[in-house]
Amino acid sequence: MLDLTPEQQALREMVHSFAQDVVAPGAAERDKTGEFPLAIMKQMGELGLLGLPFSEDEGGTGGGYVSYAIAVEEITRACASTGITYAANLSLGISPIYLFGTKEQKAKYLPHLFQGDYLASFGLTEPEAGSDAGGTRTRARRTEGGWILNGSKCFITNASYAGVVTTTALTDPEKKTKGISAFLVEQGTPGFSVNTPYDKLGLSASNTTELVFEDAQIPEENLLGTKENVGFKQFLEVLDGGRISIGAMGVGLAQAALDAALKYAKERKQFGKTLSSFQAIQFKLADMATQVQLSRLAVWNAARLKDAHKPFSQAAAIGKLHASETAVKCALEAIQIHGGYGYMKDYPVERYLRDAKLLEIGEGTSEIQRLVIARSLGCA
């Protein structure tokens, strides 16, 4: 186990208590109703969790990415819908502004985002540009005093509750990926709309929407940063950091599945014995515990490298790949251990499986992670 500092251990205990006392009790009901955890997000802002991985110089909490991964894991362990709301808000919503924003852009948005006055969102995926993010079709045309955006984005998290959305668009189509720029689009911008959320398999209380730009009017100062045509490079860096948070979500869901399976196995009796006394069940639980721990170490390693300002792209892809697939496998095993009850909504393990599947898709599918890792090894 990677040694935690006293501060990180204290944070882990604090977030665990908050997650179990505040987040977990309503998780099943939110899954049924789809109620967005906005009040919980505001409480996280009050606790300093919305600024956790960002430097104190910029108004953040200064905890670093290991602390952030710990927080994402514990929140997701209690409720994956709240976990992805939290993770997407920081990794995808706030990070572009924090990493690439001008001094004026940071001063305008970051204090409100760290306090939880509103959320942030990231518009990248399009109907024709998912894993192939270079296939962006949304276009930005320069006009007097700014830009006009036309296009759409799909599968966007938190946008209905975002005060600002960072979105990508082609500013020089002939250059393809080298002609993509990023823009800060505020709610209420003329020509910008957020469509009704999707009806999803899992993560039912998270907000997933479509963004539509119809001659959306973007002022000159809302180009992210100071340069055009660097959006592709910007969002690749954002996605690397985001993969750490998705990996941490995977650890949290896998741990929740293990927790539920172990509890049930100790209580449920068959043939006069508890399930946990049967070697077949013991081996399942042992395998689950092994994979959870390996995933946690992989994610923390990626976070440690990022905190140390060392190359972490390969480590982030490894952590995301292993943890997301472990979450699905652990949820399946937890259902198997529960038997018929695992298939029923009276128990949480069927929800864990529905929630976990997205982790193998979002922020780069498992296939894309393997491609990233292979290329880091020098494969063609």
User: In this structure, are residues 244 and 65 in contact, taking their beta carbons and an 8 Å threshold?
Assistant: yes
Q: Tokens for 305? A: 């490298």
Burial environment of residue 165 by CB neighbours within 10 A (0 to 12, 13 to 18, 19 or more): buried
Query: Which residues is 219 bridged to in the sheet?
Result: 146
Per-residue tokens: 373: 């890792």
Q: Torsions phi, psi of 213, nearest 5? A: -120, 115
Q: Is 126 one of the annotated active-site residues of the chain?
A: no
Angle of helix 313-338 relative to helix 279-307, nearest 10 degrees? 160
Find the angle CA(141)-CA(147)-CA(150) to the nearest 5 degrees: 60
* Contact residues for 212 (Cβ-Cβ < 8 A; gap 6+): 152, 192, 193, 194, 195
Q: Are 201 and 357 in contact, with CB atoms under 8 Å apart?
A: yes
Backbone angles phi, psi at 170, to 5 degrees: -75, 120
Distances (CA, A) of 14 to 44, 102, 139: 12, 34, 45
Q: What are the CA-CA distances from residue 219 to residues 42, 86, 96, 112 (Å)?
A: 29, 29, 18, 20
Neighbours of 340 (CB within 10 A): 7
- From 325, 333, 360, 363, active-site residue: 363
Radius of gyration of the chain (CA): 21
> Angle formed by the axes of helices 279-307 and 64-78, to 10°?
150
Which pair of structure tokens corresponds to residue 273?
A: 């014995």
Residues acting as catalytic residues: 363
